[in-house]
A and B are shown apart, each in its own frame.
Chain A
Amino acid sequence: MSKTSIFYVVLLVIGAFGAFIIDTTQKEPFEKVQPCDLIDIISQTNKYVTTDELARKIMADDPTILLVDLRSKTEYDKYSLTGAINIPLESLADEKYKDVLDQNVRTIILYSNSSDLAVKAWTLTSRLSYKNVFILKGGLNRWVETILKPTEPKETALRTEFETYSFRKAASSYFGGGSTVGAPTIKKKASLPIKRKKKSAAGGGCD
């Protein structure tokens, strides 16, 4: 075999080795974000949405938000926020939710009873490089404390606190506040958003 031919064949063998090595050493897709970057991402503090902010968005009928209830189906059915969809934490990485979560259009707000589950979920979605994902700070517990059953500030409190309280009182009646048992009738059962344009395989060939 001539030198050039040998060169080409060796080139192919090297290429094949490369493919083999990559195939056996690199697992995907959970390696999308490197650990050191992850620390930076987790340290960001602007990953939270407060209950007040969320209440405002819902009352303003903000179409860009997507609420994700991370708890079990039973808990979700008993009570959930208006328009929230249910994706239990353990199913968060499932293929069927990928199109819903991995997108740039809507703002996803994760919530659970407190912040714990939501933070775990948020770490997962960061690892998967999903964008626009936020955590409801304090979760449903805080939602109840602040929005559904806001506590009246003491007379010595600051004016801003009174303003917040008035807002919360208004929100409370909007959300049918006072109780978490017996879901308010304005709650609309949300279904998973429409999938993006369906990708179908190519036709053609000698078939």
Chain B
Amino acid sequence: MEDKSKKFMNPYLAGILIGVFMVAAYYFSGEGLGASGALKSVVVASVDAVNHDYASNASFFKARVGGEHSPAKTWLVFEVLGVIAGAIISAAFAGRLKIEIGKSPKITNKKRLIYALIGGILFGIGSQLGRGCTSGMVMSGMGVLSLSGFIGLIAIFGGGYMIAYFFRKIWI
């Protein structure tokens, strides 16, 4: 029998339900579930707040700035706020709300945090270049049968498998 903690939802059920929510997102809002876009909005909004002129001219920010409302008022940002709320609710029910660091026993906490930082930076860059992260680009992209989603899938997971061996100490 599979070793899974009773407290975690059956992964297939969770996946199916996420799929249903994804369809709802597409049906109502025309968008898929995502995350990195919201982070980008945060960046755009903060740069805009600090130096509006620069933001209006630099090509990265231009498209998002100068409209009627703040560049942070996007569907994705509110969806991510919802994600935050949902995660907290679920963790609260399952007793998983606690401060900790996830890692293998074989490395120190400090190392883990450094890796987390590096990993985050890489993901920040990669998600902008790849036009999305795993949820928005890959999962939602696959849901609408877009080629880009599948390319992302192969790139992220294929790439992951190729380099996993070299970083195994972090995890196992």
State how many residues of chain A have any CB contact under 8 Å with chain B.
14
Our pick among B1, B30, B37 for the contact of A206 (Cβ within 8 Å) is: B37
Of B90-98, B106-114, B126-134, B160-168, the stretch lying at the interface with chain A is B126-134
Our pick among B2, B74, B127 for the contact of A204 (Cβ within 8 Å) is: B74
Our pick among A5, A9, A206 for the contact of B36 (Cβ within 8 Å) is: A206
Point out which of A8, A9, A205 has the most chain B C-beta atoms below 10 A from its C-beta.
A205
B contact residues vs A (CB 8 Å cutoff): 1-2, 10-13, 16, 29-32, 34, 36-37, 40, 74-76, 127-128, 131-133, 136-137
Q: When the two chains form their complex, are residues A206 and B12 in contact, meaning their CB atoms are under 8 A apart?
A: no
Q: When the two chains form their complex, are residues A204 and B31 in contact, meaning their CB atoms are under 8 A apart?
A: yes
In the complex, A206 Cα to B31 Cα: how many Å?
Answer: 11
Which residue in chain B gives the minimum CB-CB distance to A201? B30
Our pick among B2, B31, B32, B131 for the contact of A5 (Cβ within 8 Å) is: B2
A contact residues vs B (CB 8 Å cutoff): 1-2, 4-5, 8-9, 11-12, 201-202, 204-207
Residues in A neighbouring B13, C-beta threshold 8 A: 4, 8
In the complex, A5 Cα to B31 Cα: how many Å?
Answer: 29
Residues in B neighbouring A207, C-beta threshold 8 A: 131
Q: When the two chains form their complex, are residues A206 and B137 in contact, meaning their CB atoms are under 8 A apart?
A: yes
Q: When the two chains form their complex, are residues A206 and B132 in contact, meaning their CB atoms are under 8 A apart?
A: yes
Residues in A neighbouring B74, C-beta threshold 8 A: 204
Q: When the two chains form their complex, are residues B10 and A4 in contact, meaning their CB atoms are under 8 A apart?
A: yes
Residues in B neighbouring A206, C-beta threshold 8 A: 34, 36-37, 40, 76, 127-128, 131-133, 136-137
